[in-house]
Amino acid sequence: MKRKIAVLLAAVLLGIAVMPGVLASADEVEISAPSAVLMEASTGKVLFEKNSHEVRPCASITKVMTLCLTFDAIDSGQLSLTDTLTASAHASSMGGSDIWLKEGEAMTVDDLLKATVIMSANDAAVVLAENVGGSEEAFVQRMNQKAQELGMNDTVFKNCNGLDEEGHVTSAHDVALMSRELLTHPKIFDYTLTWIDYVRDGQTQLVNTNKLIRTYNGITGLKTGTTSQAGSCITATAERNSLGLISVILGADSTDNRFKDAAALLDYGFANWSVTVPETPELPEVPVKGAMQDTVKVKVGEMPKILLKSSDQGTVEEKVELQETIEAPVNEGDVLGKVKFLVNGETMAEVEITAAGNAEKITFGSSFFYLLRSFVSF
């Protein structure tokens, strides 16, 4: 029977020290908005929350999910940035923030994305939704399906652009989850970091609704939203020294306060947290029983980002668990163990250890061939 042992019984200290400091606690972060959350992007760990699961409207932050599905369609080849789409009567009937699309007007996917992200155009979002989903109604069904896949249990979408509608709700926590998903499409930053752009051959100017891209160090996006029911909302993303943060503010009483609150959460995150990537450990080959070879080499998966709190004064510990011996046959990619990364005794991440090659099982035929080859070589 295969027996697992820890080949390194004592955890190996990686030598990554976390320096102490006198820093604010989450309770000391002043957030005026009724609902907020701060999430680390790579791990999804919540660093601060205030009524984060309170169900609320989120206005145009809804478009984060619309963008997720649109970029999924681009990645799958359903759409390309150069495709030209035509505005329907339904799309051209949108109110609120828009670029005044006329029924039958054609615009490229690239320009529609500019309008949706930079200016938060409701009509442009509907054109994208209709072409990805077949209709806005069908697209909204896909939005809700995607929300469930992401674990957005507080969310029900009724439209693709966030205009006030009965039952169209989410939470700060769920907004952070879908924002994290959108960050997996790096092309989004081409739009979120653009301050001013133009469509219609320069006739229509687009000015970014996210003022933080001009004032906050490390800002990368992401989306604002305002309606009478939702108040002033924002999901703000930023990165410094490989630490990515998602700051969500819902229901602020003014545009200025949403930006102030979002920046305060980002400041708290960058002051109190950091990430590190451990070095890949060197591991011994594993003995193989009943194989034509004595051992098989192993490889370790991609090293994870480890989230560290600056006040912990801790170190990252590495614990390797690897099978002492294995039975043939062994196929490349077979899981043979794992590496655990711990901070103050808590497991922060795990990475699989797999076989780096094959080890065939000894058979009569393989033994005969081996002996024959040995005689020929002799």
Whether residue 232 sits in one domain with residue 127: yes
CA–centroid distance for 59 within its chain: 21
CB atoms within 10 A of CB 92: 17
- CATH number for the domain that contains residue 210: 3.40.710.10
Kindly report, residue by residue over 134-185, the tens digit of the pLDDT: 999 999 999 999 999 999 999 999 999 999 999 999 999 999 999 999 999 9
- Residues 6+ positions from 318 with CB-CB distance below 8 Å: 8, 11, 12, 13, 14, 278, 281, 339, 340, 341, 342
CB atoms within 10 A of CB 35: 25
Whether residue 282 sits in one domain with residue 212: no
- Dist. CA 240–CA 219, nearest whole Å: 9
Catalytic (active site) residue 120: yes
- Dist. CA 336–CA 261, nearest whole Å: 47
Looking at residues 276-299, what average pLDDT do you find?
91
283 lies in some domain: yes
273 lies in some domain: no
272 lies in some domain: no
28 lies in some domain: no
Domain count along the chain: 2
Given the DSSP bridges, would you call strands 326-327 and 286-289 parallel, antiparallel or unpaired? parallel
- CATH number for the domain that contains residue 339: 2.60.410.10
Catalytic (active site) residue 305: no
CB atoms within 10 A of CB 273: 21
Whether residue 182 sits in one domain with residue 298: no
Whether residue 200 sits in one domain with residue 57: yes
pLDDT of residue 117: 98
| Residue 333 or residue 23, greater confidence | 333
Structure-token match 């061939």, residue found: 369
| 307 dihedral zone (left: phi>0; alpha: psi -120 to 50; beta) | beta
Whether residue 328 sits in one domain with residue 199: no
300 lies in some domain: yes
Kindly report, residue by residue over 263-277, the tens digit of the pLDDT: 999 999 999 999 988
Read off the pLDDT band of 41 (50, 70, 90): very high
Whether residue 150 sits in one domain with residue 109: yes
Whether residue 354 sits in one domain with residue 235: no
Kindly report, residue by residue over 123-133, the tens digit of the pLDDT: 999 999 999 99
Catalytic (active site) residue 63: yes
Predicted TM-score (pTM) of the model is 0.85
Show contacts of 105-108: CB within 8 Å, 24+ apart: 107/199, 107/200, 108/81, 108/82, 108/83, 108/84
Whether residue 342 sits in one domain with residue 199: no
Whether residue 216 sits in one domain with residue 78: yes
Whether residue 60 sits in one domain with residue 9: no
Whether residue 13 sits in one domain with residue 41: no
Looking at 63, 114, 158, 319, which residue is catalytic?
63
- Report the chain's C-alpha Rg in angstroms: 26
pLDDT of residue 371: 52
224 lies in some domain: yes
Looking at 35, 60, 97, 171, which residue is catalytic?
60
pLDDT of residue 313: 56
- Dist. CA 320–CA 336, nearest whole Å: 11
pLDDT of residue 9: 33
Looking at 120, 171, 232, 274, which residue is catalytic?
120
Q: What percent of the chain has pLDDT over 90?
A: 79
161 lies in some domain: yes
Name the residue range of residue 309's domain. 4-17+278-377
268 lies in some domain: no
Kindly report, residue by residue over 191-229, the tens digit of the pLDDT: 999 999 999 999 999 999 999 999 999 999 999 999 999
- The last residue of one of the domains, among 236, 252, 268, is 252
pLDDT of residue 361: 87
Biggest CA pair distance of the chain: 88
Distances (CA, A) of 208 to 108, 188, 358: 19, 14, 54
